Structure 1
Amino acid sequence: MAPTYNIAMVSDFFYPQPGGIESHIYQLSTKLMDRGHKVIIITHAYEGRTGVRYLTNGLKVYHVPSLVMYRSATFPTVFSAFPVFRNIVLREQINIVHGHGSLSNLCHEAILHARTMGLRTVFTDHSLFGFADAASILANKLLKFSLSDVDHVICVSHTCKENTVLRASLDPLMVSVIPNAVVAENFRPLSHPEVTSTTSPTSTSPNHPSTHPTSGFGSSVPPARQLGPHDPITIVVISRLFYNKGTDLLTAAIPRILENHPNTRFIIAGSGPKAIDLEQMIEQNVLQDRVEMLGPVRHEEVRDVMVRGHIYLHPSLTEAFGTVIVEAASCGLYVVCTQVGGIPEVLPSHMTVFAKPEEDDLVAATGKAIAALRAGKVRTELFHEQVKSMYSWTNVALRTERVYNGISGAISEGEFYGYDSTTTGNKGSWSATRGRSGVQSFALIDRLKRYYGCGIWAGKLFCLCVIVDYLLFLLLEMVWPREKIDICPEWPRKMVGKEPNNRRDGIR
């Protein structure tokens, strides 16, 4: 019988804030709980969300009070959260700490404290960063510090893996690629037979496509077959309105797209500092009747916005995966996206039109997508079932569980890393073939050796941080003995009675 674990997912980014990392953590946690594991989530407090909250199926969320610095990331204090973190970990009897997000200070601090406490650690990277600007240099140095002593790293795409390996100077063998996924049933197109006027919770909404004059298709007619040469086409954009999401590119391209295609309109959902630029563009070009700004939308409302359109436009300048384009394809939208980062790995070519991250090319690609839809060359009504067969959170959870088995020693290092132990020396050694050992040593001297190689000055500073963290841990053990910390009663775990069916669960 497969072992079960007590896992703490740690990140600054979680609900109620919407986003790809937030959705990833929630979906992965629920599927791991379905596999019989215990999972808790540690994040910072949000407005109206403090203390302990319970979500679906007993998923417990700890909202730790922390000072939020920028874009929901907490202020880096290195040591101040250790007492609270230690208390939570001991109360919940955690044995694996899984951090998410390169820019999450809470995640990096948790990995440091977890290693000091003798816990296994995993880190999932969801982002791409450069190497030249000052912000990227600082972020990369922080990542190098955090990942010097981590047991294993997961990236959401092969492009993300290459970027992370270079940024943190990692051995590629200790980095696995496990993509994001979507719950396809939550992103059904209107033409899907399971969606009817009696079952759809949004069927009476004034914004529902069946009653919206510009939606372009009804609740039972496949959109690719109904569009004529003069039928209106709606282009949907759902994104955080920041520079890296290509909002400037979008602002420049919208007037040209609408000028070239009269029967076209935009729906834009999202919030951010670049929203003012979009609003100014709409005012200057008098496009109030053709560009609808919805502002921020909750994740459960994303599908209702997407099914109002025919094309999803994703002008991002950098993207490790792009879960939103999978959601759009699942809703039956033809995707126009920039060919950057890991986006080309996400969907097959018949679902997408790629563009360079340039204004002219984005306008041309959008025009190509509009022409293809009007000509009936794209069978968007088939996208949902295709996406459903490609992406499965059950598959993601099983692959993540295998990582946990590898770092905890439940499976051999040879099986985990894919090498022959008879040709690589004794267990626990360091070599280019094996990468960092699957079961790393917790000895302080071994940890210091790993941190010391991070740079002439940075290495010494990192070692000092580790020593201080270790001394703080000893002080907490004396002042607040773990024997006096109450153990939380567990939510009843699910029993996994049989092995998953590969075809049913989408495991390849």
Structure 2
Amino acid sequence: MARRRLNICMVSDFFYPAMGGVESHLFNNSQCLMQRGHKVVIVTHSNGRRKGVRYMAGGLKVYYLPAVIVYSNASLPTFFCTFPVFRQIFIREQIDIVHGHQAFSTFCHEAILHARSMGLKTVFTDHSLLGFADTSGILLNKLLKFTLSDVQHAICVSHTSKENTVLRAALDPRQVSVVPNAIIADQFRPDPSARDPQRITVVVLSRLVYRKGVDLLVVAVPRICQLCPCVRFVIGGDGPKRIDLEQMRERYMLQDRVELLGSVRAADVPRVLVRGDIFLNTSLTEAFCIAIVEAASCGLLVVSTKVGGITEVLPRNMITFALPEEDSVVEALLEAIGRVGDRSNHPELSPQRFHSHVQRMYSWHNVAKRTERVYYKIADLEEPPLIERFRRYYGCGLVAGKLFCLVAAVDYLLGVVLAWLWPASRIEVARQFAQDTYQHAIGQNLQRHAAHALNRDVRGERGM
């Protein structure tokens, strides 16, 4: 199929400067899609001093919109209030496809609803797993069913995640593709000199929330410290559960054995990982978990709870599994400590070998290529009539279906009013970023710096 340039808008509440797998996926996938010739802009909510329009590496344009944050970096639902600003962005940037990320993101659901009211093609990527029995899961699953009833395609990051999403949203499996996460392996290289040869260091990098199994971490750390005097823990991340870790460290007087780093910038993650021998992940639910791939690329042996899609991520020689239970986590960690402590008898634990395997398995360029296929698949689909959209929403439930039809009807009418008040012809189209000129300028600068360094070295040799 002939490649053509598409204008893509990625939307999510979760983006830099916050840290996490969704944030990494958005940035790196966007960069690779731009390298493949597409235009990509990202829409997210403001974060601290990040407000307005910003340009990031490679000319990636990011809209940081004002929003009220309610919980875990997710914005307050506003239903129709974001329609005017989203419509302005879609028209200004001449967007063809709106791609929403993460079921917990309010911006994602609202952007997809508004895009469909404007007749734009939409894609949704699910990065998490949810249950079916708790109240929050039931409500979010119903919201997800509403959103996915009218998207052209959905993407999941693992086969386990696909099964979960298909069941939660009652989707046709043929409308859901599996595109895994990835990392930039060159940024996560082993550095044996950064490790403490006198101790075995266990690294934890995670949001400190219940879903990440911090309660398991709180009870497992003191037991490991008591059983293994040579082990120390380095824990990075922030969240409401951080107070539990601080109290645990004080209660058991482990200030010299447990280091709490707080929030870690994305650029500093490799520096933290290379300090460790073992990476510990205690998540209670996980669709993919980029963190364990980053750790394995840095040469760390991974210990993880056996939940969700984690079993699909790494080969068995790189990871030790545990049940999401205290005793099982401790046993798995003790086994890993024994293997790492006797590394000379376990050549398969070579950090460089781990890095080489990960480099071959995961690439953002491959992710972008597979995502691009989804875009081309839906780009020329015929737009269904409005009555068909209502039929899809009506099938979401006896009561919810009628409510969803009402929401869609109000949003559609609001779109008509906005088109009358601010016609698309009166909205200024944004200037295109000169990607080719930018890349050419970077190449010239690199050549200039290389020539300058070579001349400096030559002059230094002559002066000797």
State how far apart, in whole Å, the 2-side matches of 1:343 and 1:269 are: 20
Cα distance, 1:323 vs. partner? Answer: 0.1
Do the aligned residues in 1 keep the contact of 2:59 with 2:435 (CA within 8 Å)?
no
1:472 to 414, 421, 436: 414
How far does residue 216 in structure 1 lie from its aligned partner after superposition?
Answer: 2.9
Taking only the aligned residue pairs, the percentage that are identical comes to 58
Can you list the C-alpha shifts for 1:284-309, whole angstroms capped at 9, x where unaligned?
A: 11111111111111011011001111
Distance in structure 2 (CA, Å) of the matches to 1:174 and 1:372: 44
CA distance in 2, matches of 1:104, 1:440: 28
Pair 1:314 & 2:276 matched:
no
* Paired residues of 2:119 and 2:383 also in contact (CA < 8 A): no
- Write the letter of the residue equivalent to 1:454: C
Deviations 1:39-87, CA, capped at 9 Å, x for gaps = 0000111110111000011110001111211111111111000000000
Q: Residue by residue, what CA displacement relative to the aligned partner does 1:169-203 show, whole Å, maximum 9, x if unpaired?
A: 00111000000000001111115xxxxxxxxxxxx
Q: Is residue 284–residue 307 contact of structure 2 (8 Å, CA) maintained in 1?
A: yes
- 2: CA distance, partners of 1:216 / 1:333: 13
Corresponding residue number in structure 2 for 1:258: 225
- The answer to whether the 8 A contact 1:178-1:396 is kept is yes
Q: Give 2:216's aligned amino acid.
A: L
Q: Does 1:150 align with 2:117?
A: no
The alpha carbon displacement at 1:440 in A equals: 5.3
The one-letter code matched in structure 2 to 1:276 is: I
Shift of 1:375: 2.0
8 Å contact 1:115–1:442 — kept in the other structure?
Answer: no
1: CA distance, partners of 2:94 / 2:435: 15
User: What residue number does 2:44 align with?
Assistant: 43
Mapped pair 1:388 → 2:389: no
1:183-262 correspondence runs (5 A): 183-191=184-192, 210=194, 215-217=195-197, 231-262=198-229
For residue 433 of structure 1, what is the aligned residue in structure 2?
none
2:435 aligned with 1:455, yes or no? no
Gaps of 5+ in 2: 438-464
Q: Distance in 2 between matches of 1:379 and 1:87?
A: 53
Which residue does the alignment assign to 2:434? 492
State whether residues 234 and 265 of structure 1, in contact with CA within 8 Å, keep that contact through their aligned partners in structure 2. Answer: yes
Find the counterpart in structure 1 of residue 9 from structure 2. Answer: 8
Number of residue pairs matched by the alignment: 432
Secondary structure of 1:342 counterpart:
helix
Equivalent residue number for residue 451 of structure 2: none
Q: Report the Cα distance in structure 1 between the residues aligned to 2:33 and 2:19, rounded to whole angstroms.
A: 21
Are 1:118 and 1:442, in contact at CA under 8 Å, matched by a contact in 2?
A: no
Once the two structures are superposed, what CA deviation does each residue of 1:131-187 show, in whole Å capped at 9, x if it has no partner?
A: 011101110010000000000000000010011001100011100000000000111
Give yes or no for contact 2:58–2:435 (8 Å, CA) kept in 1: no
5 Å-filtered alignment, 1:126-137, equals 126-137=127-138
1:302, 1:82 → 2: CA distance?
36
Q: Which amino acid aligns with 1:333?
A: L
Give 1:356-367 correspondences, 5 Å limit.
Answer: 356-367=323-334
| Structure-2 residue corresponding to 1:325 | 292
User: Do the aligned partners of 1:34 and 1:494 also contact (CA within 8 Å) in 2?
Assistant: no
* Stretches of structure 1 lacking an aligned partner (at least 5 in a row): 192-208, 218-230, 410-438, 496-508
Q: CA deviation at 1:380?
A: 2.9
Code of the aligned partner of 1:158: H
Mapped to 1, the partners of 2:41 and 2:355 lie a distance apart of 32
CA distance in 2, matches of 1:373, 1:492: 50
Cα deviations across residues 429-483 of structure 1 (Å, max 9, x unaligned)?
xxxxxxxxxx253311110011110000100000011110111011011111111
Paired letter, 1:449: R
Q: TM-score, normalised by structure 2?
A: 0.92
CA distance in 1 between partners of 2:436 and 2:307 (Å): 40
Partner of 1:425: none
Q: How does 1:60-71 map to 2 (within 5 A)?
A: 60-71=61-72
CA distance in 2, matches of 1:31, 1:494: 14
Paired amino acid for 1:167: R
What value does the CA root-mean-square deviation take over the aligned residues? 1.1
Match of 2:425 among 483, 487, 498: 483
For 1:389 and 1:146, locate their aligned partners in 2 and report how far apart those are by CA, in whole Å.
Answer: 35
Deviation at 1:494, TM superposition (A): 4.6
Cα deviation 1:188-221 (Å, max 9, x = unaligned): 1115xxxxxxxxxxxxxxxxx54xxxx335xxxx
State the AA in 1 paired with 2:264.
Answer: V
In structure 1, how many angstroms separate the alpha carbons of the residues matched to 2:199 and 2:74? 41
Q: Distance in 1 between matches of 2:38 and 2:226?
A: 55
In the aligned structure 2, how far is the partner of 1:357 from the partner of 1:5? Answer: 43
Q: Which residue of 2 aligns with 1:419?
A: none
CA 1:56–1:99 in 2, change beyond 3 Å: closer, same or farther? same
1:368 maps onto 2:369 in alignment: no
Distance in 2 separating the partners of 1:254 and 1:339: 19
8 Å contact kept, 1:307–1:331: yes
- Deviation string, structure 1 residues 395-432 (Cα, Å, up to 9, x no partner): 000000000010113xxxxxxxxxxxxxxxxxxxxxxx
**Larger deviation: 329-338 or 375-384?**
375-384
8 Å Cα contact 2:190/2:351 also seen in 1: no
Q: Structure 1: how far apart are the matches of 2:280 and 2:400?
A: 42
Alignment of 1:260-275 (within 5 A): 260-275=227-242
Which residue of structure 1 aligns with residue 19 of structure 2? 18
